[in-house]
Amino acid sequence: MINLTINGKAITAPEGSTILEAARANGIDIPTLCYDKAVEIYGACGLCVVEAEGIPKLLRSCSAKVSEGMVVNTESERVVQSRKIAMELLMSAHDGDCVAPCQLNCPARTDCQGYVGLIANGEYDAAIRLIKNKIPLPASIGRVCPHPCEKACRRKNVEEPINIAQLKAFAADIDLNAESYLPDLMVRTGKKVAVIGAGPAGLTVAYYLNIMGHSVTVYDMMEKPGGMLRYGIPQYRLPKEVLDKEISLIEKSGVEIVCNSKLGRDFTIESLKAENDAVIVAVGAWKSSSMRTPGEELEGVYGGIDFLRGVIKGNAPDIGEKVAVCGGGNTAMDACRTAVRLGAKEVYVVYRRTRNEMPADKLEIDEAEEEGVIYKFLTNPLSFNGENGKVKSITLQVMELGEPDASGRRRPVPVEGKTEEIAVDSVILAIGQKLVQSDVSELKLNERGNIEADPDFFNTDIDGVFAIGDATNRGASIAIEAIGEADRCAKAVDAYLNGKPLDTRVPYISKRDESKIDYSDREKQSRLTPKVLAPEVRNKSFDEVSLGFTEEEAKAEASRCLECGCREYYKCKLLNVAQRYDIDPGRFAGEMPQKYSHDENAFIERNSAKCILCGLCVRSCREVMDIHAIGLLGRGFTTDVSPAFALPLDQTKCTNCGLCVQLCPTGALTEKANLKKQVPLNEEYTEQKIDIDGKKASVLVSRYNGKILRVIPNDDLSRSMKLSREELIEKVK
């Protein structure tokens, strides 16, 4: 035995061992992407370097042998810098998406590709479990979310994006109409948390903290929980029966909700703090924004949020027959469509830009027009004119579009001397909402008049008090933004309660160059949208407009997904090392050496653009299986892993044993996603122990009607013995 020291730890190792073997045997992790016991040492990746005292150059631990008294440092500054450069070089030639763009563009980081794929395969229970990892109110959010995920969906480069939001609602509705999924709760911690506000942010943070083992009570000022989902979204878009079911599941999981309890009237932040281990403020933004236009004080001029809340509570104002709604967002669409349903004969939407610049969802804009709403584009209220204190007309300034502003949209500028006047009975100002500052007088506010909260840890100026949602920092946003923030806040509060640090570092992920993706081989398939009530029917009631997907429609729409994100994301060794160090592959950016191409057979999909030339697939095929189906073609930067003569895998001696897939560290070789569709349904996959030199080794065995199709080495022992496919099959038999 050899005595040596690694990272200050005195250890022993058998003579002839490598530094890598000695380290691993003693629980010390040295990264490597090209090493496996089953094959000869190669040293291609350069990541396993270490520093040894008295030796001037860095050593590759996969090949360097231990020696008596050796002192090794596996994480010195010099080692880390060397690994970072090696990783940056590897990643600069790795052209693949770790995560799909839809997921990256979702504020809650929902695994859209994952649940869409599960829906395509009819696995609805698994889909809802995946969705609820990030969203506890999926049926509600699926109906109202402006789906930023779809804006990033690459299917739009073929024809139209996937209808992700409606697919979420489809899976969630199945869950609500069956034995609804409830997550397992962690061991109770004895910690108590108070949440102020039962809107999407408050309910979400309560849901996840309860799962983490903390006792959570939510206080809300309204008669029923739900916040703006209940009091700001009309019934025809979000039936409150759906919202009630989802909130009841949150309560069933263990969250206590106390309504008719208002901050500043029934309790203070300090009083809650005295009774709880943490307090989270999620009071929302309940005050309609002002346009600062002369005449706003007139009777008949309503704030958008105030108007919608009154209708939902059964206190709809008398808006008359002619109504003007000022604004171009989804609240404006909700207001104008609600006005139509209340019986208004003429409903105008006044918007200072054109239809193309409207921030509202296109479907909402189109459906409102179908219901009779009249758009007054390129106009802006100059004054609201009244008679006897009641609004009677609006003077509109005619606008034109100038240069783009900070939002990227062309700035509307007045056309001098050109105005228009329209007679109205009421006006609804749907231009935004803000915090009621008097509700949170105990907390420090920023220059915008919102609660000042740390963007990473969500803590306020009072220790143990956190704040999230529309009341904080930048102000009101969409519900999915609040939900994403609440999910992150739950982790921060959990770390605070447990006295543990929270890593807020954004992990590195690989992204493809959007400009170089070729979609020419994709078959065009029209986007499916659920059927809706006819305009002449729906504009007379508050019944839900969308009829939702049928199962056949949902599966067909989900099947349009391009599956941009890598299926190997959760077990990718390359990504694991990349996220270990703060790397910047962009500084070595250049032309990609390999063409982004797919080559597959019935079992294996090969994507050369993700290959980092570690050689594990080539060496395992040659040294372990003795097949030689693939090899290294070319020289230097253009080297590629390919079957001989660049033949398809089906035309080689490949037996589909799967060992190359198992060893690939990057996702360049994967088992086909639709393998179950390609192979007869009664094929069985089982783990089996075989005897190797008196020891039990693990292999995966694939059988069809009793016949062995594949035997895949599944542990170090089975891989270290270079048995042929025939020998493995004999041992299995």
Higher pLDDT, 103 or 513: 103
Q: Which residues contact 282 (CB under 8 A, 6 or more apart)?
A: 195, 196, 197, 199, 201, 202, 205, 467, 468, 469, 471, 482, 486
Q: What is the pLDDT of residue 633?
A: 82
Q: Which residues contact 407 (CB under 8 A, 6 or more apart)?
A: none
Q: What is the pLDDT of residue 704?
A: 53
Q: Strand locations in 234-281, DSSP E?
A: 256-258, 278-281
Q: Are strands 59-60 and 49-52 parallel, antiparallel or unpaired?
A: antiparallel
Query: Are 349 and 427 contacting, i.e. CB atoms less than 8 angstroms apart?
Result: no
Burial class (CB in 10 A: 0-12, 13-18, 19+), 1: exposed
Q: What is the pLDDT of residue 458?
A: 97
Q: Which residues contact 415 (CB under 8 A, 6 or more apart)?
A: 397, 398, 399, 400
Look at residue 661 and tell me whether its pLDDT is greater than 50. yes
CA trace torsion 252, 255, 261, 264 (10° rounding): -170
Q: Which tens digits make up the pLDDT trace of 89-147?
A: 999 888 889 999 999 999 999 999 999 999 999 999 999 999 999 999 999 999 999 99
- Give the chain's mean pLDDT: 91
Cα 385 to Cα 294: distance, rounded to the nearest angstrom: 8
With 0.85 as the threshold, say if the pTM is over it: yes
Q: What is the pLDDT of residue 678?
A: 39
Q: Which two tokens stand for residue 244?
A: 């009630």
Look at residue 465 and tell me whether its pLDDT is greater than 60. yes
Q: Which tens digits make up the pLDDT trace of 40-73?
A: 888 889 999 999 999 999 999 999 999 999 999 9
Cα 45 to Cα 37: distance, rounded to the nearest angstrom: 16
Q: Which amino acid is at 276?
A: N
User: CA 42 → CA 28, 32, 37, 67, distances in Å?
Assistant: 21, 11, 11, 21
Q: Is the dihedral of CA 364, 366, 372, 374 positive or negative?
A: positive
Q: Find residue 278's DSSP bridge partners.
A: 193
